[in-house]
Amino acid sequence: PELLPEPVILPAAAPREYLLRQYKHPLHMFPDTQQMRSLSEYVLAQQVPPPGRILPAVPGARYVHYRVPGIDSAFVAPISVWQNDRIDSPRQSLFSQATLNRFPFLKISEGLIYIPAGLHQVDSDLVIPADMEVRLEAGAQLDLRRGARFISRSPVFAYGTEEAPVKIFSGDRSGSVAVLQTDRESILSGVIFDNLTNFNERGWMVTGAVTFYEADVRFNRCRFQNNHCEDGLNVVRSQIELEFCTIANTPFDGLDSDFCRGEIRHCRFEATGNDGLDFSGSVVNVKDCHIVGSRDKGISVGEQSDIMLFDCRIEGVPIAMASKDRSMLMVYSVALQDCEQGFTAYQKKPEYGGGHIVVRSYSAEKVERLYNISPGSSLQIDGRLVE
């Protein structure tokens, strides 16, 4: 067999130590809840991917032999050879057939795509390739009709005002927005996303009316409302920041954060058909947010997430907060009102473990059951541990 000149470390798991592993107390209690504010920044800083590299193919190789650090056994895995596919994938087809000259309202110059103020009806896919920059002027309005989609591989910048917000909506409820794998952060301020749905292109489907996939983004004073699909906003494997935003009137989850890191501040989540905020594999700080009228959970934390909650209010929901599947939810302060259950922790998926919650300060008014903790999970509250 051909030997490598040096070991290659493959990131088989999330490259960080979870709070659950770092701060084990002999009684399985978090030692000092006063540390939460400083820890919130520390945990985000741990999100640095490990080094890795692409291995050159060895002609005729059929197997790869490997070992796991700390385990003496050697493992063997077969190498699968991918056949050349002569049929373009749905994504390849979209970007290969994209032509910007069919949209006369676009102003294109030296890698910049400028969308001026005014109402612009879009009846076919507006697909923006990589290595460009999209700017929407205050007062710009895109009406995505007949299944039209706004799909961009380039960062998007929009700066609406209170008097002249940027609007991306769908008059016939068929349009959607997706920003994919950008090389720079997008910034959207004063933008209203209204009456949108998700798209399905020959089996390539996203769940959000607005989707950011491997595309860092900052939202400020944006509103996501009246969507007709699973998530109002879905962000995947990205750095995210939301400030003074509202997500309202969505059939399922308001914000779905999958394997993201970032911060959510001064936001409101209301009238969501499922969860207000749904985190999977994410490290996010949630500060001064108001969640009202979710029909399932106010905040759902799963798949080894680390979520810190500061000065939030949750009201009118069946379950205020849920931590599951080896996640850690740390609550600095929260006010609960009109909830059937306050804190719940459990295991949902067999490949994980229980969920864990640490509460420093809370108030509860008209909460039928303060907590419900399943075996293997834990809640630290009022100076005691509930397991």
- pLDDT tens figures, 99-126: 788 899 999 998 899 999 999 999 999 9
Is the pLDDT at 270 greater than 50? The verdict is yes
Using DSSP's 3-state secondary structure scheme, residue 90 falls into: helix
31 assigned to some structural domain = no
Tens digit of pLDDT for each residue in 208-223?
Answer: 999 999 999 999 999 9
Kindly tell me the sign of the dihedral angle through the C-alpha atoms of 326, 387, 23, 382: positive
381 assigned to some structural domain = yes
162 assigned to some structural domain = yes
41 assigned to some structural domain = no
More confident residue, 93 or 238: 238
Counting the structural domains of the chain, the total is 1
Is the pLDDT at 25 greater than 60? The verdict is no
Task: Give the domain range for residue 137.
Answer: 90-386
62 assigned to some structural domain = no
pTM for this one?
0.83
* DSSP output for 313-349: EEES-SEEEEEESS-EEEES-EEEEEEEEEEEEE--S
pLDDT at 84: 61
Burial class (CB in 10 A: 0-12, 13-18, 19+), 11: exposed
pLDDT at 26: 45
Is the pLDDT at 73 greater than 50? The verdict is yes
Which residue reads 């108030």 in tokens?
A: 363
18 assigned to some structural domain = no
